[in-house]
Structure 1
Amino acid sequence: MSPALPLPSPEEVALFEPFERLALDRITVVAMEAQARQAAAHLMTARAWGFDTESKPTFAVGEASEGPHTVQLALADHAYVFQLHDQGCREEVAALLAQPDVVKAGFGLGDDTRRIAHKLGVEPQNVLDLDTVLRQRGYRRQMGIKAAVAVLFGRRFLKSKKQTTSNWANRQLTDAQVLYAANDAWAALRVHHALTGSS
């Protein structure tokens, strides 16, 4: 077995320039069926999407998650944050995730896909876990988005713990939540493009 490829240390990563982010004007929050149809038409122009979900955290022992509460799908120049309160919006998202010809690229997607199957009644198709790709390339531990961005771009991916544990079930998401959710998916697409040489 070849030796594991080296990763930059946390101290080295702390000195990197921040990774760029999609701004709010390139992110659309989708809550209703008509909006979801418009988003789907745009998304279907691409062969790969960045993919992630967010769920309201559970704090009580034995409490089951009702997530995901949002599904994020990103293109190279735009990201969509789908809220799953509306039945019509949920159906549009389910149809998108069932598309077999579009790669849905993200990190640590096992839990996401299980929750989606339970909540939306669809098994996401053509899901590409970038952790697996990076391990195949010679990195011997689970990478995650922060490590992948550091290795591939020499940049520091900013991720807010406060937003991670915020209430994703709220009907009105904050700008900080929208930026956090969309950029997780967008950065995953950037990593996918870097690994495949596509754009």
Structure 2
Amino acid sequence: MIVKRTITKDDISEMPKVTFDGKIIMICTEKDAERAIEFLNKYAVLGIDSETKPSFVKGKSHKVSLLQVATDTHCFLFRLNLIGFPKVLIDLLENPSIVKVGLSLKDDFLALHRRVSFKQQNCIELQEFVKPFGIQDKSLQKIYAILFGQKISKSQRLSNWEAETLSPSQQQYAATDAWTCLKIYTLLQELHQTGDYVKEEIVEPVIEEKEK
């Protein structure tokens, strides 16, 4: 497999769209959270992401509205604006036996810590994880496009994540982001173990000297 170092927005625009095709489960009560964590604790690696209601007023911000946690087949959407931050969810993030994979995790955790204090453990930051493979881009959309030749839609990014009911498009968007983090990690782990990849060579332009 040839791993590109970078990709352009024009390249991505021509690619087919990827969407999570597994089961999306909304978590709106603490009881729901307990059942979800019981399921997630069976997995060794999980993809995670978060969403926050955008603010269009200078100086005003909102707390994290949603935390997405994905396996290959399921994605749980924890509606933090409704349920707060249950202890079982803290226990999951602090569990050193489960790998949590995401992108821009520093920002995610800074925002999550505004809700509750906890010490996340065994987390993989994809922006750092991709570097040994020669990938220079840092956005989830570009990293995924480089590796899979598909684009992640960002059309719902600035939607209202504290709406009474999240639309099917919002749910799909949120689940896809967490799930694609997991897919990237899984593929790169396989490539690392097999060595079955090469970095795309960057050809520097030749600048000819002008005749004096």
Query: 1:58 & 1:173 partners in 2: Cα distance?
Result: 18
Distance change in 2, residues 1:186/1:5 (3 Å): closer
State the partner residue of 1:148: 143
Task: Please report how far the alpha carbon of residue 80 of structure 1 lies from its aligned counterpart in structure 2 after TM superposition.
Answer: 0.3
- For the 8 Å contact 1:48–1:104, the answer to whether it is kept is yes
Q: Contact (CA 8 Å) 1:117, 1:124: kept in 2 or not? A: no
Matched, 1:46 2:39: no
Higher helix share: 1
Alignment of 1:3-18 (within 5 A): 6-18=5-17
Cα distance between partner residues in 2 of 1:118 and 1:11: 37
Name 2:171's counterpart in structure 1.
178
| Partner secondary structure for residue 197 of structure 1 | helix
Aligned position for 2:200: none
CA distance in 1, matches of 2:158, 2:54: 6
Secondary structure of the 1:178 match is helix
Q: Deviations over 1:21-55 (max 9, x none)?
A: 225xx000001111111111111111111100011
**May I ask how many residue pairs the two structures share in their alignment?**
188
Gaps of at least 5 residues in structure 1 are none
Q: Which residue of 1 aligns with 2:190?
A: 197
Partner of 1:131: 127
In structure 2, the gaps of 5 or more residues are 192-212
Following superposition, which runs of at least 4 residues in structure 1 exceed 3 angstroms of deviation?
Answer: none
Matched, 1:168 2:167: no
Deviation, structure 1 residue 156: 1.9
Q: TM-score, normalised by structure 2?
A: 0.81
**TM-score, length-normalised on structure 1?**
0.86
The answer for the alignment partner of 2:113 in structure 1 is 117
